[in-house]
Amino acid sequence: MKNINMVIDIGNTHIVMGFYSNTEILYSWRLNTDKAKTEDEYFSIIKQLTDDRKLILSQINKVAISSVVPELTRIFFHLTKKYLKCDVEIVNAYSELGLKFPVEDPGFIGADLIVNAFAAMSKYNANCIICDFGTATTIQLVGKNGYFFGSIIAPGVITSAKNLFDSTALLSNIQLKKPEHLLGTTTTNALLSGIITGNSFMLDGFIKAIKKEYKYLCPIKTIATGGIAELICKDSKEIDIIDKNLTLGGLNLICCK
């Protein structure tokens, strides 16, 4: 009997896949995004990963996909139809999720923002600021009634750091970690302060400003998600919850609708 949902979040840098039984996440994997791979090549990777965990692909009941890479949206849609032979939902601003938008045509809003807004609304039943640390850092405000107030898109932490390293001949890549002090006494510590602490300050500054502008919505719950969320938000004064699986969990909720 089919009883597993497969969820896929396709970003510009990584593809994150999760497998759920009801609301329980069984496994998740993170792959590098590669637009050159075919549906057959991606399926081969999925098959190997699931075989290693003894997941039976014929038990997949539904697939939900969130994607900001149109070429891979098509590849994973065809992969699902060809190999998994189950229902698939491509999530976008036109999906019937109970969200409301301040613009007539919300099609420009990224699928990741849509899924996170729906996930926060469904899971926390509160006015929420959601901060997602991916290729870009996004900050959005969604009301508990599903109203999407808008978003901020800033350069991603890892993307910015990589660009700095690539363009500065005397610097080599360093491991991102929390700096010991605000002021660095070595080049590495100075960079870590600028990258990690600087993004934490930026985040808190935006959250404070949003709360001030939309004070009539308070209390507002603040949620952080994404692979690097814990590193950036560990010392944040404004983040209430770090929910690493917010996006995958939202996609699973969409499968269960």
Shared-domain flag, residues 81 and 121: no
Alpha-carbon span 222 to 206, nearest angstrom: 11
- With a cut of 60, say whether residue 1 has pLDDT above it: no
What tokens were used for 59? 């038990």
Q: Are 199 and 157 in contact (CB under 8 A)?
A: yes
Partners of residue 225 on adjacent β-strands: 132
The two three-digit tokens of residue 183, written as one number: 């002021």
Q: How much is the average pLDDT of 138-154?
A: 96
**% pLDDT > 90, the chain:** 71
In a domain, 96, yes or no: no
The per-residue pLDDT for range 202-238, each reduced to its tens digit, is 999 999 999 999 999 999 999 999 888 988 888 788 9
Q: Are residues 174 and 57 in the same domain?
A: no
Give 107's DSSP letter.
Answer: G
- Is residue 256 in some structural domain? no
Over residues 139-163, the mean pLDDT reads 90
Domain tally, the chain? 2
Q: Give the whole-angstrom CA distance, residue 237 versus residue 92.
A: 32
More confident residue, 173 or 149: 149
| pLDDT, tens digit (0-9, with 9 covering 90-100), for 24-69 | 999 999 999 999 999 999 999 999 999 999 999 999 999 999 999 9
CATH of the domain at 30: 3.30.420.40
Find the catalytic residue in 34, 52, 87, 112.
112
Last residue of a domain, one of 65, 90, 115: 90
Tell me, yes or no, if 112 is annotated catalytic: yes
In terms of domains, do 118 and 241 share one? yes
d(CA 195, CA 158): 9
Whether 68 maps to a domain, the answer reads: yes
Query: Which residues make Cβ contacts (< 8 Å) with residue 52, sequence separation at least 6?
Result: none
State mean pLDDT over 77-93: 94
Same domain? For 142 and 175 the reply is: yes
Q: Which carries the bigger pLDDT value, residue 6 or residue 172?
A: 6
110 lies in the same domain as 208: yes
Same domain, 235 and 114: yes
Please report whether residue 95 resides in a domain: no
Tell me the Ramachandran region of residue 179: left when phi exceeds 0, alpha when psi lies from -120 to 50, beta otherwise: beta
**Per-residue pLDDT for 159 more than 60?**
yes
